[in-house]
Structure 1
Amino acid sequence: MNKMKEIQKALTKKYFEREEEIEGLLVALLAKQHILFIGEPGTGKSMLSAELGKIIQGSNYFQWLLSQFTTPEELFGVLSLKELEQGIYKRNTTGKLPESHFAFLDEIFKANSAILNALLTLINERLFYNNGSPVQTPLFTLVGSSNEYPEEGEGLEALFDRFLLRYEVDYIKDESAFIKLLKGQNQVQLPTMTLTELVMSQLEVEQVTIPDNVYQTLADIRQDLKDEGIRPSDRRFVQSLSLLRAKAYLEGRQNVILSDVEILKHSLWVRPEQKEDVTAIIRDNAVDHNVLKYEERLKEVQELANLLKDTERKVDDQMEVINKLKAIKEEVKDIHLEDQSKIDSLIDFINNEVTGYASAIIDF
């Protein structure tokens, strides 16, 4: 198991009902993309984001709550008075956003015009203009948070678009999980990794392969979305490839499979009201029909196996069950999965387990 998977498992134990958000956060980190959390105060958005700075040893983490009164100095550093006397407008960025590897900006849509342009450039291009000179920043992932979506016409469309992944975070729903939270039963020792190990993982993510059927699926999704009047940009589709590679890597694979595409339900919508339609379209296209067929046949075999254990059933009825199992065994031989051992195991189950109950009735 790679370190990122260990981190994912530990975070999932610590933060109840946050499986998708945790996966999204780590995928964004591996893909060097940005992620947005939308939800009420007290849903753990800032706590979860702050874990990045603790988990990645040797990294710089920056966190700030924005308001309409936030000044550029708070995010980017104060002007150097010594250089200002010489007419040089240079900021001291030590400990500020331009020098961070990870950042959490709460109420990000309250950014005012004085900091918005600099923020956009830093998020998108990883550049910060200090005294007019571009400075490359080390930023990997910025986590944005807001209690609500930005209103149309507020001039925040470009900022909203910078977040490739977007999640709505709700309060804990399951009562037992809530009680565990109250009892403090979520204390978990989180694994760590070094900044160098993270960079190596990010380089390995870039080597993950995407097969042609996934590219075709993305083209199909794009057309289906277009038919519904939903038009994510071509740039967003291109950027989404990094998410697919990171998702596969997180699962310990060197190639993307069709089910990885489902993570794009958090990426390919333009407006919040499109979320449900986008989710439905992506799920329809991301379904591996071989997997569905295998799961259906597995369920049938399990049900038929239970029937064979019923010693009170008539011989004719048991023979009918055996014939059905024989047909299923031949059918599953033509199902092709990424993990073909599942097919072999199902066939072995039919041959070794189920036929044991039927040996007295028929030569299978």
Structure 2
Amino acid sequence: MSIDKQIQKEFYEKIPLLVEELNKRLIERDELSRLVVLAMLSKNHMFLIGERGVGKSKTVELVNGAIKDSTFWQLQINKDTKIKELYGKKRSMDDGTVSYEAKRSLLNTHYGVLDEMYKGRGNLLNGLLELLVDASYTSGDGIKRKTPLLAVFGTSNEYPTETRMLPFNDRFTVWYEVKRIQEPKNRIKFYAGDYLTTPIENQYFSIEDIEYISVAKENISIPMDIIELFDSITTALITQKVKTSDRKYGRVLHGMIRVSAYLNNRECVDISDIFLLLHTAWHDDVEKDKVKRVVFEKIFGNAEEIDSRIVTCKQNMEETDSFKNKHIYKYLNNTIEIDGINKQEMYDRIIGVADKAYREYQDILNELISLDKKWHENKEIEALLQRNHFISNYTQNAITPAMLEMIQELSQTVEKKIIDLHTWYSNNQTLFDYQGNVQKNKGRVA
């Protein structure tokens, strides 16, 4: 199907309204809220790390309440949790099939929260892994059955480290660390009870909407430059030993990122959507730092590298100044006549030096222009981030205000040198022109 722009626009306008309602009930959880909304609307599993009482499960429950016809189920897992607590009570039927009975379980809910998920034992986790793959399970009769499950939210007080948990790294698309309230004013707001405790009254989306979004996202195109950027970032992450599979990267790009573009009222993915890698490409705190560094450097640039390029431009300008002044400075004011029997040869050498200096200045200016262009590109990316419903307003720090000032000052200086040389050459295109200009200057002095 093609994109229905009216429906897409309605979805787009609902996102900030839902986030606003969440922010009335949760303090300092704006980014978490946006990511939970995206995970639920895009049918992606999410893993939340954080101390008890920081709002991990509460956020999921609140978003679920804003989805019409949605069901929600939560289970606290420990080493004694049995598979029947996930699936329900197993029952063998007369026809040889097997069913599970429970008022509510992971088999008959849309969204589930599994607190302290990694404390479960092997058979429990194996059963869960099958569900996370394609929302289906195989019972004792060998029949594979589909469930209405859309997304599971696993939680943990700490980063999982056991090797038996590695398969889950690939199944949970989104990873997010929920920290305690950081800002003093927000802690005061929390202790003062300055937030709503009621459920969200309006239902902004429905299960039917989510299924519609799942199909509609297939019409979102991914430009080749975005694919190449995505490949560049993921290749760098592989080099950095970030252990995210190609399968997961593909799911992120063609699934969640496309949904992000669709719900941001666009027909194609843009660079702001790629920042979702900050929440999908890592599985521990070490990887998280690596991912942030790589994503920011690949998109905004490397501050040390850019600073080095600025310094090199300044050094090259000074070297060209020195070369020019050493060889032709006294001729640039048209005050010294070219003497001797090889006047033309001397003139040609002067022109050669001037031409070399001109080209070097032009190369320096081109480099400075590219740096200035990069700064403007970064500001445009910041503007895209501000418009993206699911991404924080990240700002670039690759080109600082001081660096930009240096770029602009050097550009003005080099540009003047280029203009001066061009003007001099235009007025001294032949030896005859040069000698004539010298005589004119002498006449003015006289």
Please state which band the TM-score falls in when normalised by the shorter chain: 0.7 to 0.9
2:48 aligned counterpart, secondary structure: strand
Is the contact made by 1:98 and 1:138 (CA closer than 8 Å) also made in structure 2?
yes
Residues 1:202 and 2:214 aligned together = yes
Q: CA deviation at 1:13?
A: 3.2
Is the contact made by 1:104 and 1:143 (CA closer than 8 Å) also made in structure 2?
yes
Residues 1:171 and 2:180 aligned together = yes
Identify if the C-alpha distance between structure 1 residues 71 and 217 changes in structure 2 by more than 3 Å, giving closer, same or farther: same
| 1:276-315 equivalent positions in 2, closer than 5 A | 276-287=289-300, 289=374, 290-292=376-378
Residues 253-262 or 167-176, more deviating? 253-262
- The separation in 1 between residues aligned to 2:380 and 2:157, in whole angstroms, is 42
- The separation in 1 between residues aligned to 2:286 and 2:143, in whole angstroms, is 41
1:259 aligned residue: 272
Identify if the C-alpha distance between structure 1 residues 152 and 70 changes in structure 2 by more than 3 Å, giving closer, same or farther: closer
- The separation in 2 between residues aligned to 1:45 and 1:255, in whole angstroms, is 31
1:117 aligned residue: 126
Amino acid at match of 1:120: L
Is the contact made by 1:63 and 1:105 (CA closer than 8 Å) also made in structure 2?
yes
Query: Whose helix fraction is larger, Structure 1's or Structure 2's?
Result: 2
Is the contact made by 2:42 and 2:210 (CA closer than 8 Å) also made in structure 1?
no
Is the contact made by 1:56 and 1:198 (CA closer than 8 Å) also made in structure 2?
no
2:74 aligned residue: 63
Amino acid at match of 1:53: N
1:215 aligned residue: 227
1:97 aligned counterpart, secondary structure: coil
Rg larger in structure = 2
Identify if the C-alpha distance between structure 1 residues 295 and 133 changes in structure 2 by more than 3 Å, giving closer, same or farther: closer
2:262 aligned residue: 249
Identify if the C-alpha distance between structure 1 residues 20 and 164 changes in structure 2 by more than 3 Å, giving closer, same or farther: same
Identify if the C-alpha distance between structure 1 residues 240 and 86 changes in structure 2 by more than 3 Å, giving closer, same or farther: closer
Identify if the C-alpha distance between structure 1 residues 85 and 136 changes in structure 2 by more than 3 Å, giving closer, same or farther: closer
Amino acid at match of 2:61: A
- The separation in 2 between residues aligned to 1:158 and 1:40, in whole angstroms, is 23
Is the contact made by 1:259 and 1:287 (CA closer than 8 Å) also made in structure 2?
no
2:100 aligned counterpart, secondary structure: coil
Is the contact made by 2:159 and 2:284 (CA closer than 8 Å) also made in structure 1?
no
Is the contact made by 1:221 and 1:281 (CA closer than 8 Å) also made in structure 2?
yes
Residues 1:103 and 2:112 aligned together = yes
Amino acid at match of 2:272: S
Q: CA deviation at 1:165?
A: 0.7
- The separation in 1 between residues aligned to 2:208 and 2:379, in whole angstroms, is 43
2:153 aligned residue: 143
- The separation in 1 between residues aligned to 2:210 and 2:31, in whole angstroms, is 21
Deviations 1:186-213 (A, max 9, x none): 2274531322223223333332222111
Gaps (5+ residues) in structure 2? 1-11, 302-373, 383-400, 402-411, 416-446
Identify if the C-alpha distance between structure 1 residues 203 and 5 changes in structure 2 by more than 3 Å, giving closer, same or farther: farther
2:15 aligned residue: 4
Is the contact made by 2:131 and 2:137 (CA closer than 8 Å) also made in structure 1?
yes
Identify if the C-alpha distance between structure 1 residues 128 and 231 changes in structure 2 by more than 3 Å, giving closer, same or farther: closer
Identify if the C-alpha distance between structure 1 residues 270 and 66 changes in structure 2 by more than 3 Å, giving closer, same or farther: closer
Gaps (5+ residues) in structure 1? 297-302, 304-323, 328-364
- The separation in 1 between residues aligned to 2:381 and 2:134, in whole angstroms, is 44
Residues 20-29 or 89-98, more deviating? 89-98
1:239 aligned residue: 251
Identity of aligned residues (%): 27
Deviations 1:137-172 (A, max 9, x none): 11111111000122233x111123311110011111
Identify if the C-alpha distance between structure 1 residues 145 and 270 changes in structure 2 by more than 3 Å, giving closer, same or farther: closer
RMSD: 2.6
Q: CA deviation at 1:295?
A: 8.9
Amino acid at match of 1:11: L
Residues 199-208 or 25-34, more deviating? 199-208
- The separation in 2 between residues aligned to 1:74 and 1:293, in whole angstroms, is 51
Output the TM-score relative to the length of structure 2: 0.61
Residues 103-112 or 227-236, more deviating? 227-236
